[in-house]
Structure 1
Amino acid sequence: MSTAVVAVLLVASMLAVGTAATVDDFRTLVRRRGLVMLAVAANVVVLPGLAVALVTTVGLGPEVALGVVLAAAAPGGGTGALLTLHARGDLAVSTGLQVLLGPLGLVAGPVWATAVGQSVVPAGGVGLLVVGGGLLGQVVPLAVGMWLRRARPQVAQRVHPVARRVADVLLAGLVVYFLVTGVGRLPQVGWAGVAVIAVLVAVSMTPVALRWPASVPQRRALAMTTGVRNLTLALFFAAAATPTVVLTVLAYGLIMYGTCVPVALVLARTKPVPVL
């Protein structure tokens, strides 16, 4: 059930983002190569590498360790751009990174899983179709939204608030779902596992508090994009493992949204910051 909601949330949020983004936004992102390289390194190398180091140091069980690593190694979460929108961040940076990071997660997940001695690569063409469908779920609604804004701006103005409202409702419902179904099961993950997840989420949000790199809106975009992991992809890989691995990914989602959403709502109340 949560996987289906995440998938619909992904489509709705990308449509909302697409109707607010332009091609010029992506052209601007190309000129920010340093920020892009930093974001890719943070999402594909630093965060999953830190996850492997922490689960190894703490000595988590293999299933919990795998769940933590899969979540940490799944960048490009569909709601990162949506939360960036709320947090008054640079939407162009967040959207561009989301599109870039999504495919990288297909490689990062299996690679980092081997770092904890496990394999999660789905067998056969069915696995490729499911993962490809996840990517299409990001790219297609984003492209449709951007086309509407360019070719049918009046339609885009009507679609954007509806898509955003649907995404907001689904996001709120997902957070409540995680709270209701996940809090009581956190002991199954173990408090050491919960602590590791909390550290990873906190580290991913540090750009908000830093004075470097880049501008305030760009740092907010980097924080939200890095903080929100691609749960759809992580759950897909976890489904090939055990229920405990799936539970750990859901626990990551609970702590992730329980941290990122309040931060975004706090930032939403700040004065608008010009995008440089």
Structure 2
Amino acid sequence: MSTVAVAALLVASMLAIGTALTAGDFRMLLRRPAVLVGAVALNVVVVPGLAVVLTWLADLGPDAALGIVLAAAASGGGTGALLTLYARGDLAISAALQGIHAPLGLVSVPVWAAVGGHDVLPAGAGGILLVGVALVGQVVPLAAGMWLLQRRPDVARRVHQGARRVADVLLAVLVAFFVVTGAGRLPQLGWRTVAVVAVVVAACLALVLLPWPVPAAVRRAVAMTTTVRNLSLALFVASVASTTVVLTLLAYGLVMYGLSLPVAWWLARGTSPVAKS
């Protein structure tokens, strides 16, 4: 899938999020810093740690194990907030977590690869540029959408609908890309590799079921934002690795969206249009 299409998906997603948020929604985050701290710990410690343990227990080959660890360590995927919107989760928390996780991935990816016993090069200047562009692609349309909602709410509603339709189409294209490039090659990876990926993704989605002392919308936001990994960053690092590592990352994307989209749609049933804490 072209870089332009991925960037357009990120911009459309964040514009749709921005036109459904107010500054007051972000101020609410200050009242529950423990949620942000806990979500960050889940993303940069628990999820990659789980991936390292599972790849070791499953006795995967080094290349397949590296692909899974890279994906699990790369937090801050650009469509996490969009899936939160689908799931009627807390958009402010999801948007904030995406912004926090993206730069942390530059550190967590090489660190967790090393913990797993894999020798990869740090992301370096190219990785910093990649994350910087992604952050701009999130912050600018998010701020523009929030400004429009405050100044022209009638226009903001129409922009929200249009941006969401564009995001829906581009997300469908992204999922189709993973299906076309990864589905037919799953047997090459071996079903143990696919099973480990499925367990990691399912564990992230299961966060929505934990009895946290927070509103359901917050649990949904944390679950969706944690499930969607920054595969662009992982693929960037994997460019110095083998074809099997890249194939494993494509399989991760296929399983990630194959499980998270149905869960997001299921969570949306019978809830309000946009859930906020």
Q: What TM-score do the two structures reach when normalised by structure 2? A: 0.92
Range with bigger deviation, 72-81 or 265-274? 265-274
Provide the C-alpha distance between the structure 1 equivalents of 2:276 and 2:165, rounded to a whole number of angstroms.
24
Superimposed CA distance per residue, residues 29-58 of structure 1 (whole angstroms, 9 cap, x where no aligned partner): 121111111101111100001101111221
| Closer, same or farther: CA 126–209 of 1 in aligned 2, 3 Å | closer
Provide the C-alpha distance between the structure 2 equivalents of 1:264 and 1:134, rounded to a whole number of angstroms.
23
**Residue 261 of structure 2 corresponds to residue 261 of structure 1:** yes
Amino acid at match of 2:267: L
Provide the C-alpha distance between the structure 1 equivalents of 2:130 and 2:41, rounded to a whole number of angstroms.
26
For the 8 Å contact 2:19–2:157, the answer to whether it is kept is: yes
Range with bigger deviation, 183-192 or 254-263? 183-192
Tell me which residue corresponds to 1:167: 167
Tell me which residue corresponds to 2:217: 217
Range with bigger deviation, 153-162 or 23-32? 153-162
Amino acid at match of 1:212: W
Amino acid at match of 1:121: P
For the 8 Å contact 2:120–2:237, the answer to whether it is kept is: no
Q: Return the offset for 1:225.
A: 0.9
Amino acid at match of 1:84: T
| Closer, same or farther: CA 129–207 of 1 in aligned 2, 3 Å | closer
Range with bigger deviation, 19-28 or 257-266? 19-28
Tell me which residue corresponds to 2:239: 239
Provide the C-alpha distance between the structure 2 equivalents of 1:226 and 1:213, rounded to a whole number of angstroms.
18
Tell me which residue corresponds to 2:134: 134
Q: Return the offset for 1:127.
A: 4.1
Tell me which residue corresponds to 1:51: 51
Amino acid at match of 1:74: A
For the 8 Å contact 2:106–2:127, the answer to whether it is kept is: no
For the 8 Å contact 2:120–2:240, the answer to whether it is kept is: no
Provide the C-alpha distance between the structure 2 equivalents of 1:122 and 1:73, rounded to a whole number of angstroms.
13
Query: What is the DSSP-based 3-state SS (H/G/I as helix, E as strand, rest coil) of the residue aligned with 1:146?
Result: helix
Tell me which residue corresponds to 2:89: 89
Range with bigger deviation, 197-206 or 73-82? 73-82
Provide the C-alpha distance between the structure 2 equivalents of 1:199 and 1:2, rounded to a whole number of angstroms.
29
Q: Return the offset for 1:168.
A: 0.6
Superimposed CA distance per residue, residues 144-181 of structure 1 (whole angstroms, 9 cap, x where no aligned partner): 22222233434322221111111111111221222232
| Closer, same or farther: CA 43–6 of 1 in aligned 2, 3 Å | same
Tell me which residue corresponds to 2:64: 64
| Closer, same or farther: CA 147–238 of 1 in aligned 2, 3 Å | farther
Tell me which residue corresponds to 1:190: 190
Superimposed CA distance per residue, residues 113-147 of structure 1 (whole angstroms, 9 cap, x where no aligned partner): 11122223145x44432332222222222222222
Tell me which residue corresponds to 1:36: 36
Structure 2: stretches of 5+ with no match in the other structure: none
| Closer, same or farther: CA 150–274 of 1 in aligned 2, 3 Å | closer
Alignment RMSD (CA, Å):
1.9
For the 8 Å contact 1:66–1:118, the answer to whether it is kept is: no
Structure 1: stretches of 5+ with no match in the other structure: none
Identity of matched residues, %: 62
| Closer, same or farther: CA 263–274 of 1 in aligned 2, 3 Å | closer
Provide the C-alpha distance between the structure 1 equivalents of 2:108 and 2:232, rounded to a whole number of angstroms.
14
Q: Return the offset for 1:246.
A: 1.4
Superimposed CA distance per residue, residues 228-258 of structure 1 (whole angstroms, 9 cap, x where no aligned partner): 1112222222223222211111111100000
Tell me which residue corresponds to 1:13: 13
Q: Return the offset for 1:4.
A: 4.5
| Closer, same or farther: CA 223–193 of 1 in aligned 2, 3 Å | same
| Closer, same or farther: CA 122–225 of 1 in aligned 2, 3 Å | closer
Query: What is the DSSP-based 3-state SS (H/G/I as helix, E as strand, rest coil) of the residue aligned with 1:205?
Result: helix
| Closer, same or farther: CA 220–126 of 1 in aligned 2, 3 Å | closer
Tell me which residue corresponds to 1:100: 100
For the 8 Å contact 1:3–1:232, the answer to whether it is kept is: no
Tell me which residue corresponds to 2:153: 153
